[in-house]
Each structure stands twice: as C-alpha cells, then as structure tokens.
Structure 1
C-alpha cells in the first residue's frame, strides 16, 4: 500500500513533511475523502488511520490524495499499476 510505504519512508527521513498520493481510481479517492463506515471499507479506514498518524506527528506535515486519469502516460502511473498488480 502506497501510503504505508510513504509513512514508513517519512519516519526514516524526518525531513519529509508532505506526502502526495495519486490514484486513477476515482471511487477509492472519493471513499478516502468522504469515509463512511460500511462493509468493505477496511482499506479506506487503514489509509485514514495512517494519514492521521503522520499528520499528528508534526503540525507541518500534510497528506494529499488526488485523482489522476489512468492510461494517460503520466510518469509513474505504469509503475504504480504494475506494483498494484503484484500486490493483489
């Protein structure tokens, strides 16, 4: 999971104060931005918890989760898709 990796990296490198994640899954981004407790939301809950833990560490920390279009030759998107398939 990208946010877990990012927060672990940030813990190893305290100069990291900002995490920006991009996803081409608009449903996932919407769920994370507007979490509602319901079945099947374990990843949204985990992402929210990880983000809050990072934010609570320091008032200068920030986390952004943004949507990006899939299959649009965006740098890193093909690599992210491959890593997601490997993790599934």
Structure 2
C-alpha cells in the first residue's frame, strides 16, 4: 500500500481514483488485516534452524527490540523471528558487548 486518501461524506468521490482490474475505479482489499495493536506470538530461531523460544509482543519491531535486549540470548549473531499467525519471517542481528 502506498498511501490512503480520506474523503468526507457518505457519497464523496476519490479525487485520485485507482483503476482496478475487475471494475474501473475500485480495488478490493477484503483480505487485508491490520493487527498492529494486537498482541502476537513470534518464534525465535538460531542460524541452524533450532527453535529457541516464543515471545509475545505487539509487532516485529517490538519483537526485534526484545530479542536484542534479552538476557536469554548469550551469543552475538543472526536470529530469525517467525510470526506464529502468518508465518512471515524477519532476521535480527544481535551484538553482545561485554
């Protein structure tokens, strides 16, 4: 998604309509989910694919921050977060300073 255009009124028209494939002037977003405010579970994996645990936070950024500050991670390296709900993955680089 690139941007949103908000218009006022029940019968307002979009000043910059996007033409869809099925019906000119419309786009279907029926399968889009906005769960940013919902607590989500993320599996944590190491580089060898070993599952290290599960964390529950509000989004990938919060999961990465928690992983970086966790005392449970004792080695620098690359770790993987995988959303338990969607299966989406993200890498996180952890640097340990002693």
Both structures adopt the same fold (TM-score exceeding 0.5): no
TM-score, length-scaled by structure 2: 0.23
Which structure has more relative contact order (CA 8 Å, sep 6+)? It is 1
Query: Greater share of helix residues, 1 or 2?
Result: 1
Query: Greater share of strand residues, 1 or 2?
Result: 2
TM-score, length-scaled by structure 1: 0.25
Specify the structure having the higher radius of gyration (Cα).
2
